[in-house]
Amino acid sequence: MMDRDQRILAATAVFAMAWVIARAYVQAITIDEATTYALFVQNSAPFHWLGSSNNHVLNTALMRLTTRVFGVSEWSVRLPALLGAAIYIGACLRLCRRFNCGLPFTWALLVCLIYNPFIMDFLVAARGYGLALGFLMAGLVADHKRLASCAVASACIGLAFAANFSFAIACGTVLAARFVWSWSERTHPLLKLLAAYALPAIAVTLLIPLPALLSFPTQELWYGSRSLPEMLDGFYISSLFQLNEHVIGPKLHAVMLLNQRWFYPALGVTFAAWAAYAIRNKLGRPELTRMAAVAGGAAAAAFLIHWTAFLAFGLLLPKERTGIFFVPLAFAAVGAVGAIPPVSRVGRWLRTAFVAALLTVAVNNIASMRLMYFREWNWNEEGKQVYTVLNCLHEKHHINSVASGWPFVSVLNFYRQTATRDTFAAVPDTINNPEHVEVYVLETVLNPDLIEPKHLKVMWHGDATKAAIALPPEQLAALESSACWEIPH
């Protein structure tokens, strides 16, 4: 690749990392992040070894470290996820550089791997998905010939599993596919290769996630899809979620919104046509076809195992984030096939159509970039503003008793932890049966039946969400005219 192309790819990756860091800094904490912090990080006892579907051991342990070192803030709890993001982006950049087949294609592929809104959300969120994605991709792209690199790949895949148990099957299939790839080269004795692929992953598993694995309550595996369409729909919707009007102009926004549902089908059709042509004409470089086989084979095997487990044991299929690994694996396979150079005019046309579809998806991804919320927990976008108002009420009017429902309880309690000075009392999840409540924090969509029967008056309402702060009648006289309601959103 030319130096200029390399620089453009590197700049694209660096910008993505900067965007992820900016999001980690400005975005309000969400319910799942705050719950992870409250349950497994905050306590002085080492609760990060406990088995629970919400505890992603490696991520939780690192959150514990970063919050002890830097204090509690949105940024410090997301630092492990940022580490995962850096590893993931670096691995994707390495993969795309390896394909070495024209800037439009490699750039579009890189954008599809990194800027996909589904992926980008989890490169920021303080959960284990970002770390797991990073280590899985690092394991996938590591060199398959040198024994030391095979051992590093194995350790990375072990760490991906330690970061998130929902990657278990994908980790197994990627490790197996890589082993077959290395073995097929016949550069090392079988036993040495087996040891290089098995021992580091086993050592990592023994050192990090073993206790959580042994104490994992199987009844907690309640999150998942109950059918194939539901599973695929989850990926589809997440990957196409919400074009950002701030990023693209109104005209393009309207055009893209109208045609968005065709982007992935078009990519699928053009890719299938190109792949069929390449297979029929026996095109391809060995390293590309093998990478396609490893990534595609690992994704297909992971899907088949999940499907079998669903049919045989009722284990739910991956849903949205729990199947996030399918996205980079699929794009790695697609990229490896797409990087094959065409040899005829028909081939050039087919490939051009495929690259155009890939570029369209890439543009869609860039047009969906956002700063302020995650798709899955968008109702928490204004959690910090809610806390600011409540804290003002506490400081100015000595409000101490706040009632809230599940969308806000852990978020508000998280912000209480970040306070360096006195703040209001811990918020219980008692919005329907509260006792002596001075202020209500509610979601006007989820709690519409609460406002009228209790004669609540909504004093503050979020701009972007349905978050609201309401007062019971007995507090109106004292608080209605407070300056706290005027705090800028």
By rule CB under 8 A, what count of residues binds another protein? 22
Binding mask 411-440 for another protein (x = CB under 8 A): -----xx-xxxxx-----------------
DSSP structure string for 254-266: HHHHHHGGGHHHH
> Which burial class, exposed, middle or buried, applies to 282 when counting CB atoms under 10 A from its CB (0-12, 13-18, 19+)?
exposed
Q: Name 191's Cβ contacts closer than 8 Å, sequence gap at least 6.
A: none
Q: Is 143 in the site for another protein (CB under 8 A)?
A: no
Give the shortest CB-381-to-another protein separation in angstroms.
24
Q: Which is nearer to another protein, 67 or 475 (CB)?
A: 67
Q: Is 237 in the site for another protein (CB under 8 A)?
A: no
Rounded CA separation 191/188 (Å): 8
Residue choice 11, 207, 311, 371 for contact with another protein (CB under 8 A): 207
Rounded CA separation 11/14 (Å): 5
Give the shortest CB-216-to-another protein separation in angstroms.
13
Q: Which is nearer to another protein, 215 or 308 (CB)?
A: 215
Q: Residue with structure tokens 């600011």?
A: 388
Residue choice 49, 99, 167, 387 for contact with another protein (CB under 8 A): 49
Give the shortest CB-33-to-another protein separation in angstroms.
18
> What Å distances lie between residue 465 and 76, 99, 171, 383, 446, CA to CA?
25, 43, 37, 10, 12
Token pair, residue 464, equals 């972007």
Q: What does the CA dihedral 76, 82, 87, 92 come to, rounded to 10 degrees?
A: 180
Which positions from 8 through 47 interact with another protein, judged by CB under 8 A? 44, 46
Residue choice 191, 214, 258, 477 for contact with another protein (CB under 8 A): 214
Q: Is 384 in the site for another protein (CB under 8 A)?
A: no
Give the shortest CB-209-to-another protein separation in angstroms.
8
Binding mask 65-94 for another protein (x = CB under 8 A): x--xx-------------------------
Amino acid present at 464: A
Q: Name 469's Cβ contacts closer than 8 Å, sequence gap at least 6.
A: 386, 389, 390, 439, 440, 441, 458, 459, 460, 461
Q: Which is nearer to another protein, 69 or 312 (CB)?
A: 69
**Site residues, another protein (CB under 8 A):** 44, 46, 48-49, 61, 64-65, 68-69, 206-208, 210-211, 214, 416-417, 419-423
